[in-house]
Amino acid sequence: MPPMIDMEGQKIGRLTVGEFAHCNRFGGAHWNVTCACGNTLVVNGRDLRRGHTLSCGCLFREMMAASMKRLQRKQRLLREAFRGTELGSK
Ligand SMILES: [Zn+2]
């Protein structure tokens, strides 16, 4: 069954939609997509249109890494703020 909605050539997040891949047993079209980082994957067109899938996963990994960095910075600032106090001596 061909896809109801042609998404070929669309750019969503970091992904560029390529050729139609297949329909699953519920009739959901899946597409071959290429991520800006070079990875290729097959994703559900509905997830693409809803913005659920914006990258191959690299975007999520980068966001996690960035928030970890922020957290570590916050912890360092807190440690520095408490340095020399009773709390900081522990
Ligand atoms: Zn990627």
Report how far ligand 1's centroid is from the alpha carbon of 21 (Å): 19
pLDDT tens sequence across 30-66:
999 999 999 999 999 999 999 999 999 999 999 999 9
Q: Give residue limits of the domains in the chain.
A: 1-56, 58-90
| Whether the predicted model's global pTM rises above the 0.75 cut | no
Which pLDDT band holds residue 87 (cuts at 50, 70, 90)? low
Give the E-state strand segments of the chain in sequence order.
11-12, 15-23, 29-35, 40-44
For residue 1, what pLDDT is reported? Answer: 54
- Strand, coil or helix: what is 20? strand
What mean pLDDT is reported for the chain? 92
Report how far ligand 1's centroid is from the alpha carbon of 1 (Å): 29
pLDDT tens sequence across 14-34:
999 999 999 999 889 999 999
Report how far ligand 1's centroid is from the alpha carbon of 52 (Å): 14
Report how far ligand 1's centroid is from the alpha carbon of 58 (Å): 4
